[in-house]
């Protein structure tokens, strides 16, 4: 029973690991597994079945067939181990250790000699020889084609084919079989070339595009930081200079026992308080979310990720006529839900609906591909939001606090096969507190805690 539970746990872990991967990571893994599987498909089919003929040809043929099978398995294992390194070398992320090709080359030479010896002692029939030749270069060729230019790979393949055909002719293989072996070598070389090289090239292009998007995002963050720094400099630079000058003047007046020194310090105090308020205004404006802007931003980001987005509103985002505090809170909901759509599941479509009733504004964000979404609950969800305690957080806990402070609610959950919906409702009578921040109610409204956990 424990063994069965362990197997089920491992299967669930593999499934969770697959869903936690990004789309590009899934494609990368699928391509690697496919190339590794090709090696074993050839080894257990065309590389194994023809060896059955050796069982009727005596101990020498059986020994040669067993040695060829063992060498083929060893070559396939080495090929699978080298595929990941060949991927990295092709992408330029890490060099391929030259020493790792020595053993595969030796095994390739050994397999060629064993194949020729089998043909010499009659340990393989005519059709079987053609199939063994078809399997011969696959395991070595898949990682090797990623390590050298295409022209060099074709030249080396031509030289290898010439050597194999010459050895087979030397042991008396008839011309018809030699032609069949030649065709097999041409087919398998082209198969390795067109299956491995274009796949890895496509992955390399996609990874470069992903890295470019990451760099663009980092540059956008850096630009925003510079903008915020400029705003802070513009706000504080002049006031700090005035404070410094008036403080120096107050010191000189105090040294002369001039009563005007007190007036200067009162002015310094006034300017300092005004600067503090200006800084608060800058920070509040920097962090505030605007609903129309967030709707357009979410639509652009999701569409850039290949997700079809539909935005529906009663009179358009700018025409709902809600107070600024309500629109700001809903803007945060749009931002966070758009982030969750990108991070969780495998969405293809997303619907954003905005409607105004008689006494409230309702925002719905619905997406498909929610099979990987985990419900949020308890401390696990509350501890990972990163929201501050006063409702200014930008995580899921911050959303609940913001909407709860306005008397609104936040609900989420599955609504059908592979669909997930987040619903935010905020009353039109909501108003921020007198100090410009949201006034928290003693008990925020209990919204269903089933939002997908923010990672």
Which pLDDT tens digit goes with each residue over 63-107? 999 999 999 999 999 999 999 999 889 888 889 998 899 999 999
Scan for tokens 């067939």, then name that residue: 65
Mean pLDDT of the 27-46 span: 89
Higher pLDDT, 212 or 444: 212
Question: At residue 400, does pLDDT exceed 90?
Answer: no
Higher pLDDT, 114 or 415: 114
Question: At residue 61, does pLDDT exceed 50?
Answer: yes
Whole-number pLDDT of residue 406: 84
State the average pLDDT for the chain.
80
Whole-number pLDDT of residue 432: 52
Mean pLDDT of the 14-33 span: 79
Mean pLDDT of the 5-28 span: 75
Tell which residue, 373, 350, 371, 352, has the closest CA to residue 452. Answer: 373
- 41-50 residue pLDDT tens: 998 887 787 7
Whole-number pLDDT of residue 220: 77
Mean pLDDT of the 211-234 span: 79
Whole-number pLDDT of residue 55: 77
Task: Give strand pairing partners of 420.
Answer: 367, 414
* Percentage of the chain modeled with pLDDT above 90: 25
Model confidence band, residue 433 (pLDDT cutoffs 50, 70, 90): very low
Beta strands 308-313; 349-356: pairing state: parallel
State the pTM of this model: 0.54
Are 307 and 341 in contact by the 8 Å Cβ rule? The answer is: yes
Whole-number pLDDT of residue 389: 38
Are 289 and 328 in contact by the 8 Å Cβ rule? The answer is: yes
Q: Sheet containing 409-416: which strands, arranged edge to edge? A: 308-313, 349-356, 360-368, 419-427, 409-416
Question: At residue 436, does pLDDT exceed 50?
Answer: no
Higher pLDDT, 450 or 264: 264
Mean pLDDT of the 199-228 span: 82
Phi, psi of 295 (to 5 degrees): -65, -45
Whole-number pLDDT of residue 321: 67
- 261-311 residue pLDDT tens: 888 898 889 888 888 888 887 776 665 667 887 888 788 778 766 788 888
Are 21 and 345 in contact by the 8 Å Cβ rule? The answer is: no
Tell which residue, 417, 414, 319, has the closest CA to residue 375. Answer: 414
Element (H, E) at 225: helix 175-255
Whole-number pLDDT of residue 82: 93
Are 237 and 282 in contact by the 8 Å Cβ rule? The answer is: no
Whole-number pLDDT of residue 13: 73
Burial 368-386 (b: 16+ CB within 10 A, else e): bbbebbbbbeeeebeeebe
Phi, psi of 422 (to 5 degrees): -115, 130
Tell which residue, 209, 168, 208, 202, has the closest CA to residue 185. Answer: 168
Model confidence band, residue 167 (pLDDT cutoffs 50, 70, 90): very high
- 354-391 residue pLDDT tens: 888 888 889 999 998 776 444 333 333 333 333 343 44
Phi, psi of 292 (to 5 degrees): -60, -40
Whole-number pLDDT of residue 242: 81
Cα(400)–Cα(448) distance, rounded to whole angstroms?
10
Tell which residue, 79, 183, 90, 83, has the closest CA to residue 138. Answer: 79
Tell which residue, 190, 126, 136, 128, has the closest CA to residue 163. Answer: 136
Whole-number pLDDT of residue 53: 76
Are 364 and 423 in contact by the 8 Å Cβ rule? The answer is: yes
Mean pLDDT of the 196-206 span: 88
Scan for tokens 């340990």, then name that residue: 123
Question: At residue 317, does pLDDT exceed 60?
Answer: no
Tokens of 78: 């080495």
Cα(72)–Cα(141) distance, rounded to whole angstroms?
13
Handedness of CA 72, 74, 77, 81 (dihedral sign): negative
Beta strands 349-356; 360-368: pairing state: antiparallel
Are 39 and 80 in contact by the 8 Å Cβ rule? The answer is: yes
């Amino acid at each position: 029973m424990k063994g069965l539970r362990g197997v089920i746990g491992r299967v669930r872990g593999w499934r969770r690991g697959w869903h936690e991967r990004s789309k590009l990571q899934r494609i990368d893994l699928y391509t690697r597994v496919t190339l590794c599987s090709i090696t074993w498909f050839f080894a257990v089919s065309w590389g194994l079945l023809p060896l059955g003929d050796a069982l009727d040809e005596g101990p020498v043929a059986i020994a040669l067939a067993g040695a060829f099978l063992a060498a083929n398995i060893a070559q396939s294992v080495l090929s699978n181990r080298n595929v990941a390194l060949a991927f990295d070398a092709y992408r330029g992320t890490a060099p391929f250790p030259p020493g790792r090709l020595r053993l595969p080359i030796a095994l390739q030479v050994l397999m060629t000699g064993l194949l020729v010896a089998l043909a010499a002692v009659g340990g393989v029939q005519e059709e079987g020889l053609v199939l063994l030749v078809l399997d011969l270069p696959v395991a070595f060729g898949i990682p090797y084609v990623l390590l050298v230019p295409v022209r060099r790979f074709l030249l080396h393949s031509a030289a290898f084919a010439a050597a194999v055909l010459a050895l087979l002719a030397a042991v008396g293989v008839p011309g018809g079989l030699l032609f069949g072996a030649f065709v097999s070598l041409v087919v398998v070389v082209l198969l390795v070339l067109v299956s491995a090289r274009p796949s890895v090239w496509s992955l390399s292009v996609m990874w470069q595009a992903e890295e470019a998007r990451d760099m663009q995002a980092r540059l956008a963050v850096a630009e925003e930081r510079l903008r915020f720094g400029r705003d802070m400099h513009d706000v504080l630079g002049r006031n700090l200079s005035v404070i410094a000058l008036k403080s120096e003047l107050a010191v000189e007046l105090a040294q002369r026992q001039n009563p005007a020194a007190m007036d200067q310090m009162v002015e310094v105090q006034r300017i300092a308080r005004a600067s503090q308020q200006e800084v608060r205004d800058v920070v509040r404006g920097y962090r505030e979310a605007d609903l129309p802007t967030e709707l357009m931003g979410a639509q652009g980001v999701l569409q850039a990720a290949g997700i079809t987005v539909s935005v529906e509103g009663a009179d358009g985002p700018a025409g709902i006529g809600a107070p600024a505090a309500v629109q700001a809170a809903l803007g945060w909901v749009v931002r966070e839900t758009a982030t969750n759509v990108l991070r969780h599941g495998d969405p293809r479509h997303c619907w954003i609906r905005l409607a105004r009733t008689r006494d409230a504004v309702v925002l719905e964000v619905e997406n498909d591909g929610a099979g990987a979404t985990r419900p949020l609950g308890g401390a696990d969800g509350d501890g990972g939001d990163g929201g501050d305690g006063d409702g200014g957080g930008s995580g899921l806990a911050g959303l609940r606090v913001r909407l709860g402070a306005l008397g609104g609610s936040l609900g989420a959950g599955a609504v059908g096969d592979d669909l997930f919906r987040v619903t935010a409702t905020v009353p039109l009578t909501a108003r921020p507190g007198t100090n410009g921040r949201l006034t928290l109610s003693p008990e925020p409204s209990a919204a269903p805690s089933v939002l997908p956990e923010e990672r």
